[in-house]
Amino acid sequence: MAPAKTALFAGARRTLRRPLRRGLAWEPWVPPRSIPSAARSAGRVNEPRSALVEPGFDGTPRTVNRQAVALVREEWHVVERWWTEEPVRRRYFEVVLEGGQNTVVFRDEERGAWFTQRGA
């Protein structure tokens, strides 16, 4: 590629980003076509979805979306934004379903609803 040539713009010397071709002093920059809004709004990754959960007497899930839970691998609590008007209090469970599928479910203590984030 040939070294970039220079041209005068409004009295200042600037280096062109593209080499001169076919007698053109410079090539105008054309913005890329915009991406359709449907392609941009594909959704958030790992967004929580409502889940149908039957809890046991201790609050651990026994079924998730009508699939039996084979094993509860881990349990943890999250308490965030307790100082705001919309605090977050959740009880998470990482479970293995009868079919071998791993999934994470949580109970939103503020809403009293169950959600899943992975898998089922």
Alpha-carbon distance of 26 to 105, in angstroms, equals 58
Mean pLDDT taken over the chain: 78
Six token digits for residue 44: 């958030």
CA dihedral 97, 103, 109, 63 (to 10 degrees): -20
**pLDDT tops 60 at residue 2:** no
Residues composing the chain: 120
CA dihedral 4, 10, 11, 12 (to 10 degrees): -40
Domain ranges for the chain: 49-118
pTM for this entry: 0.60
Alpha-carbon distance of 117 to 73, in angstroms, equals 15
**pLDDT number for residue 76:** 95
Alpha-carbon distance of 111 to 94, in angstroms, equals 20
Alpha-carbon distance of 33 to 72, in angstroms, equals 49
Tens digit of each residue's pLDDT (9 = 90 or more) over 70-120: 999 999 999 999 899 888 999 999 999 999 999 999 999 989 999 998 655
